[in-house]
Chain A
Amino acid sequence: MSAGTTSVSLDKPVVHPPRRMPGDHGSPLTQSRGVARVLRIVSTALIALWFALPFLPLVLWSFANQWMHPAAFPMEAGTDGLTAAIANGGGLAFLHSLLLSLVVAVIATPLGAMAARALSRGHVRFGKAITVLLFSPVLLPPFAAVLGLNVLLLRAWVPPAVGVVLVLVAVAIPYTTFSMRAAYAAYDDGFDDAARTLGASSRLTLWRIHLPLIAPALARSAFLAFLVGWSDYLITLVVGGGHMITLPLIIASSASGVGNESSVAVLSLSAVIPPLILLGFIARTRNLDPGKQR
């Protein structure tokens, strides 16, 4: 991939100014000084505390074997919580959750991408109505749909696992469709056209040109769909009818009891870490900009 547009010699070399991204240093113009600076630091610390505080009990309790009440911090560190979490079926539930979320992501991402592709090019009839329909699961109270669906799926003899996947895919589709739509709004069809003009078949164009170019957006969409499956409690509980024991179900049953704080903390922490790892990967992918490839 050494031949980019940068290797074409032009009369005047085109210099792209570095693009400003959110998170880049602010310019001196908007930087605060004096009292405003102190206020800014204090408010930053308060907001950081606001977002970090709920993670604190998970970390403290996860490694506490013994933590009697008056003590400000755990008295004895250990892995009792982990042992209890595994004894509660945490391991298998973790695998179930992982499998369910992956299946939801694998189905909802291509469906969303295809719909977004068609909608963003404006050739779809009733495009507006379809957009509203595809977005509606975000606003819909899940329990309102699930109460009715449960009856519907039972009467249609749909297996509980299939029902859970169906409902979660429907809930994930708004996220995949709208994140892919944003990606396609910035996508240049010229690359596909150029490949076709140069004699590539439509399949080759899809695999070698189109998909690599939208891969980062696909990864972001898949992450959102994964989160839908990973976070769900109610749909798995009601539609799954107790046949599918995922991590949130185990967490709910442990957390509603008394005295198993360290087990709850270990299970919760194991539900927090996988999305964070994926988030780390996603944050490192940047949109490919073929004009600027090095």
Chain B
Amino acid sequence: MTAVQSRPRRHGMRATLLVLPAIIPVAIVVIGGIGTTVVQSLGLMPLVGTPALSVDAFESTDNLLGSALLSLGIAVVSTAIAAVVGFFTAVLIISGNWGGRIVGALSAAAVTVPHLVGAASVGLLLSDSGVLARILGIPPESWPALVAGPTWFAVIAEYAWKESAFVALIIVGTLATRITSYDETAAMLGASRGARLRLVLFPLAAPSLLVASAIAFAYTLGSYEVAWLLGKTYPEPLSVMALRLFNSASLTARPEAAAVAVITLLLTAAIVGVAMLGLRRMRAWQ
């Protein structure tokens, strides 16, 4: 190790060279992409005409607030379900019975399914002439409008399904071995099931539960294909609105699409910031 310490400059150079190939594509996509989107939203990069700084795109976009609230609502409900189901799934997997192994295999399978495929199969499952309606023998007219209905049920169900598997995977991956030993210690000292769940398993899983939920929330807020395939056409979530404006023929629509994207970015940043604060508090408390 003396050789390393006597050549810190060379070592730093080597480390930089190792990191650089990963930084370049990420920087192009994140900084370049977001930068261009922000510039477009402020009217500085119009398709035709002279660039001029303005916030017109934010003001002229119809029902931006409604779409933002809808997106937030879908993300909050589906992330909440995913966090609860994911936590209990992780507890089942960690407990290590044969049932836990089956649940573990099924949730791992769900993690690998593309969201679009998940949306397609949830559509086949829940539509008014879908597989569930057929198996339960309910005619289409008395089946509730789960797909493309006012409750956004199918969209929320798909996100909750996929993200609960993700949450479980993260909790199991980060804490499996530690949790088991603490759980056994608490059991030996006479803690009941409920007490162990509340006072041992939950506090230990809480930081990774929070991180996984924040990632799931950010994903849900920014995801497009599920809401596009299974949702109502109006009102539309932010991502669907942005893509519709982006593809529309109108020349003023591009800055508006970028404005919707900027709003989504700000919402995501706010949520991630809150989650990071929560994580810091959790670490300080432990």
Q: Report which A residues bind B (CB closer than 8 A).
A: 20-27, 29-32, 36, 40-41, 43-45, 47-48, 50-58, 60-61, 67, 69-73, 111-112, 114-115, 117-119, 121, 123-125, 130, 133-134, 136-149, 151-152, 166-167, 169-171, 173-174, 177, 227, 230-234, 238, 248, 251-252, 255-256, 261, 264-265, 268, 271-272, 275-276, 278-279, 283
Contact = CB atoms under 8 A, between A and B. Distances in A.
Interface in B258-285: 258, 261-262, 264-265, 268, 272
Given A26-B95, A119-B19, A264-B124, A140 B114 contact: no
Contact of A233 (B104, B110, B225, B246): B225
B37 A255 contact: no
Contacts, number: 305
Chain B binding surface, main DSSP class: helix
Interface of B: 8, 11-12, 14-16, 18-19, 21-23, 25-30, 32-40, 45, 85, 88-89, 92-97, 99-104, 106-110, 112-125, 129-131, 134-135, 137, 139-140, 158, 161, 164-165, 172, 176-177, 180, 183-184, 187-188, 193, 196, 214-215, 218, 221-225, 229, 239, 242-243, 246, 257-258, 261-262, 264-265, 268, 272
What 10 pairs across the A-B complex have the smallest Cβ distances? A141-B222, A148-B36, A145-B33, A148-B37, A231-B114, A44-B99, A57-B124, A22-B176, A170-B29, A144-B261
A119 B14 CA distance: 11
B23 A20 contact: no
A197 to B, nearest CB: 12
Contacts of A123: 8, 11-12, 14-15
A248 B117 contact: yes
Contacts of B177: 20-22
Q: Is the interface of A mostly helix, strand, loop or mixed?
A: helix
A138 B122 contact: no
A261 to B, nearest CB: 6
A166 B29 contact: yes
B242 A233 contact: no
A279 B169 CA distance: 13
A172 B118 CA distance: 20
B122 to A, nearest CB: 6
B29 A167 contact: yes
27 contacts: A20-B180, A23-B104, A30-B196, A32-B193, A40-B95, A44-B97, A44-B99, A54-B122, A57-B130, A58-B124, A69-B129, A69-B140, A72-B134, A115-B22, A125-B16, A133-B27, A139-B214, A139-B215, A143-B242, A144-B264, A145-B37, A146-B33, A147-B246, A167-B29, A255-B123, A255-B229, A272-B113
Given A29-B187, A147-B37, A48 B99 contact: yes
A55 B99 CA distance: 19
